[in-house]
């Protein structure tokens, strides 16, 4: 189920989106076969729905975007990377709580 408040990024769209974003960006690196990713997905969707215009919430399917995944040394998923002004600010690996994710995003405002 596609969430209109979550932008799907890939190798060709990633850099332009991150560099042109006017708000902090959360990138969720995931894959459909990853059980922890499927647990985190609804949390990321909820954050996207509750923070429209405040943060840019994005997902990268690691199987579809090997270039971006390699660029950021994604070895374990889910991995969350936080960007501001086109620059990586923070990251976490594994399932994070909604409060932790929102707290890291809010710190970038």
Among the listed residues 18, 26, 27, 34, the single catalytic one is 34
- Tell me if residue 15 is catalytic: no
Among the listed residues 6, 18, 37, 62, the single catalytic one is 37
The tens digit of pLDDT for each residue in 6-50 reads: 999 999 999 999 999 999 999 999 999 999 999 999 999 999 999
- Tell me if residue 89 is catalytic: no
Peptide bond into 85 cis (omega under 30): no
For domain 6-106, the question of CATH label 3.30.390.50 is answered with no
**Which of the four pLDDT bands, split at 50, 70 and 90, describes residue 61?**
very high
Token pair 């902090």 is found at 24
User: Residue 1 pLDDT > 80, yes or no?
Assistant: no
User: Residue 92 pLDDT > 90, yes or no?
Assistant: yes
CA angle 1, 76, 69 (to 5 degrees): 75
Instruction: Summarize the confidence of residues 79-91 as an average pLDDT.
Output: 97
For the question of whether the overall pTM of this predicted structure is more than 0.85, the answer is yes
């Amino acid at each position: 189920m596609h969430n209109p408040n979550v932008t799907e990024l890939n190798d060709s769209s990633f850099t332009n989106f991150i560099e042109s974003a006017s708000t902090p960006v959360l990138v969720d690196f995931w894959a459909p076969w990853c059980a922890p990713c499927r647990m985190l997905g609804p949390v990321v969707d909820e954050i996207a729905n509750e923070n429209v215009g405040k943060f840019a919430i994005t997902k990268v399917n690691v199987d579809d975007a090997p270039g971006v995944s390699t660029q950021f040394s994604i070895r374990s998923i889910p991995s969350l990377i936080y960007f501001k002004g086109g620059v990586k600010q923070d990251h976490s690996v594994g399932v994070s709580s909604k409060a932790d994710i929102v707290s890291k995003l809010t710190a970038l405002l």
